[in-house]
């Protein structure tokens, strides 16, 4: 499961704070805040539709931004 989906689940289902989510996922609170802001700006709603894959979720949240998993 992707960090995006985990972030959304912890926020909307568990009701955790940004700081608690960042501790659970070992990411910074700014990253959690950015994911939640981008999700709010996307056309998606929680709970996610069953047919929404991790790739589609990532593309919707990071729309307009080149998502590259390759590091230099």
Is residue 70 included in any domain, yes or no? Answer: no
Q: What is the pLDDT of residues 15-53, one digit of tens each?
A: 999 999 999 999 999 999 999 999 999 989 999 988 999
Is residue 25 included in any domain, yes or no? Answer: yes
Whole-prediction pTM: 0.82
Q: Tokens 């929404």 label which residue?
A: 52
Is residue 71 included in any domain, yes or no? Answer: no
Is residue 68 included in any domain, yes or no? Answer: no
Q: Residue 45 sits in which domain range?
A: 2-62
Total count of domains within the chain: 1
Is residue 14 included in any domain, yes or no? Answer: yes
Rounded distance between C-alpha atoms, residue 37 and residue 42, angstroms: 9
Around Cβ 39, how many Cβ atoms within 10 Å? Answer: 20
Helices (H), 9-53: 18-25, 29-41
């Amino acid at each position: 499961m992707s960090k995006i989906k985990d972030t959304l689940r912890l926020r909307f289902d568990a009701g955790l704070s940004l700081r608690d989510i960042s501790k659970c996922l070992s990411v910074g609170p700014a990253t959690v805040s950015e994911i939640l802001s981008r999700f709010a700006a996307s056309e998606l709603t929680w709970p996610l539709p069953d047919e929404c894959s991790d790739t589609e979720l990532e593309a919707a949240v990071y729309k307009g931004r080149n998502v590259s998993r390759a590091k230099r």
